[in-house]
Amino acid sequence: MQTEPTDEALMLAYGRGDASAFESLYGKHRAPLFRYLLRHVRQQALAEEFFQDVWSGVIRARDRYKPEARFTTWLYQIASNRLTDHWRAQQRHGTPVEDGEERAAREPDPSTPDHQLSKFEQQRQLQLALEELPPEQREVLLLRLEQELSLEEIAQVTGVGRETVKSRLRYAMDKLRARLGT
């Protein structure tokens, strides 16, 4: 039985000039990466712009890629850097009011006993809870829940210590729990 090449092997193959290796990698990671970006910026156009930036970074760095870490870690590190640039730029131009917070304030309190959450409603609450999170907590949460990265890998992606990651994740989970009433 022929085993599927790993992401790292595919990336190395692309670095050597194998264009089909990139297509395999892209096909495998495009949807999760796009979802990750969209959950952060919540604007399709912005997510598309960042998505393209991230893959351009992958293409540019193909010669320098070394499989010292998982390809996923490496890919999301590029994405995280792009998002950090975005947050920094936003801070320079004044932090806009999180529309998630505004919308959450208008929502009925889900913790009332008579409020029965449908599945649709639950998803909506989750979406709002995600939007309420500070970017650094949201980043850690998404990397953990959607990409299933370990704390060490998230630390590598985000450039902070493992304990910081652990703390951010705990805060994020607490907020989600409170929001969802679980």
Residues that bind other proteins (CB under 8 A): 14, 17-19, 22-23, 26-32, 34-35, 38-39, 44, 47-48, 51-52, 55-62, 64-65, 68, 70, 72, 74, 77-78, 81, 88, 119, 122-123, 126-127, 130, 142, 144-153, 156, 159, 173, 176
Q: Given CA atoms 49, 55, 58, 62 in this order, what sign does their dihedral have?
A: negative
Q: Which is nearer to other proteins, 72 or 137 (CB)?
A: 72
At closest approach, how far in Å is the CB of 157 from other proteins? Answer: 10
Q: How far is the CB of 83 from other proteins (least distance, A)?
A: 13
Cβ nearer to other proteins, comparing 101 with 117? 117
